[in-house]
Amino acid sequence: MSGMIELEEPKAAEHQMRDEIRQISDKVRRRRQLRSTMMVALCAIALCITAVPLFLLLYQLFNRGLPVVLHPGFYTQLPQTPNLITPNATGGISNAIIGTLVLSLYASIMAIPVGVLVGIYLAESDSKLAASLRVIAQTMAGAPSILMGLFAFSFIIRDLHIGFSALAGSFALAVLMLPVIIISSEIAVRGVPNTLREAGLALGAKPHKVSMKIVLPAALTGIVTGIILAISRAIGETAPVLLVIGGGYINSWKPLDPVAAMPLSIYENAKSEWPSLRTEVWGIALVLVVFVFVLSLSARIWASRKQQAR
């Protein structure tokens, strides 16, 4: 009899202890789960907080910009300054569109050849010069764009006495684009498999032939993507051109004329006292954003297509 009781009693205590442990661990687990759910929910809230202003920005841009950009004269007319008699006259932004195209064209002519060549050099040389140029390029890629404006002002306008012009503006933008093109070209050229190079060399091709006929075509996608991204960044920059292009009010393709630019028109019209100009400014911003989106999206899509093809 007593033996049975002795056997039963520890069993009951064990059960009780097990239950207690289970209860505690359940509590701990529930608390951990609750904590996890709460923190993950906080992250989701952060995502919403990020999304709200950015969606608002895009919505207001399209909402206020669309009525302006649907007017065909917006693209073909020169701007008019509103006055007391015609307070609603704004004209168009043909000078700013042409100015932006001119600036990015000349900047590309200056920056692309040098940038691609330096990128190839950095990828294929392991000299000290290459190492230090790489650090310089990476540092300059993040430099505040207003500094490019100060540089263009001191060098082109002060030292070379060229004056406020498209040339000075595109020089500033070229300095801005150079490091971006250099870095992306270097990455693209480094990405070409060494077996391709070795195959070319084994067939007896001279090193420079291999570099030009084999490596460069293989790296072309990456290089072009980098160039497009650099241009799309340069198109939107206000600060460097603000100091040096002079804000011309005519349509001109000549490098030595003062020109306008879309970002600059946005900056100046936004500060204007005239309500009509403040309405028009949303149209300019929409055109600019569409320009930039189309450029960077096409670069992205093209790059991914080519990658899949390979």
Site for another protein in 120-179 (CB under 8 A): 120-122, 124-127, 129-130, 133, 136-140, 142-151, 153-155, 158-159, 175, 178
Residue 20 CB, nearest approach to another protein (Å):
20
Distance (Å, whole) CA 291 – CA 279: 20
Q: Residue 259, SS3?
A: strand
256-275 residues in contact with another protein (CB under 8 A) are: 263, 266-267, 270-271
Question: Which residue among 57, 109, 220, 256 contacts another protein (CB under 8 A)?
Answer: 57
CB closer to another protein out of 13 and 270: 270
Residue 10 CB, nearest approach to another protein (Å):
30
Residue 15 CB, nearest approach to another protein (Å):
24
Question: Which residue among 107, 167, 197, 230 contacts another protein (CB under 8 A)?
Answer: 197
Which residues are CB-neighbours of 39 under 8 A, at least 6 positions away? none
Distance (Å, whole) CA 262 – CA 237: 9
Which residues are CB-neighbours of 228 under 8 A, at least 6 positions away? 295, 296, 298, 299
| Residue 74 binds another protein (CB under 8 A) | no
Task: For tokens 């490596």, name the residue.
Answer: 215
Question: Which residue among 4, 7, 12, 54 contacts another protein (CB under 8 A)?
Answer: 54
Q: What is the DSSP letter of 108?
A: H
| Residue 300 binds another protein (CB under 8 A) | yes
End-to-end CA distance of the chain: 84
Where does residue 205 fall: left (phi above 0), alpha (psi -120 to 50 degrees), or beta otherwise?
Answer: beta
* Span interacting with another protein, options 13-21, 90-98, 206-214, 248-256, rule CB under 8 A: 206-214
| Residue 293 binds another protein (CB under 8 A) | yes
CB closer to another protein out of 49 and 309: 49
CB 184 within 8 A of CB 119: yes
Phi and psi dihedrals of 250, rounded to 5?
-125, 165
CB closer to another protein out of 86 and 154: 154
The per-type count for the chain, helices as H runs and strands as E runs, is 12, 0
Question: Which residue among 102, 173, 192, 243 contacts another protein (CB under 8 A)?
Answer: 243
Residue 257 CB, nearest approach to another protein (Å):
19
Instruction: Give the tokens for residue 103.
Output: 């600036």
Question: Which residue among 227, 239, 245, 277 contacts another protein (CB under 8 A)?
Answer: 239
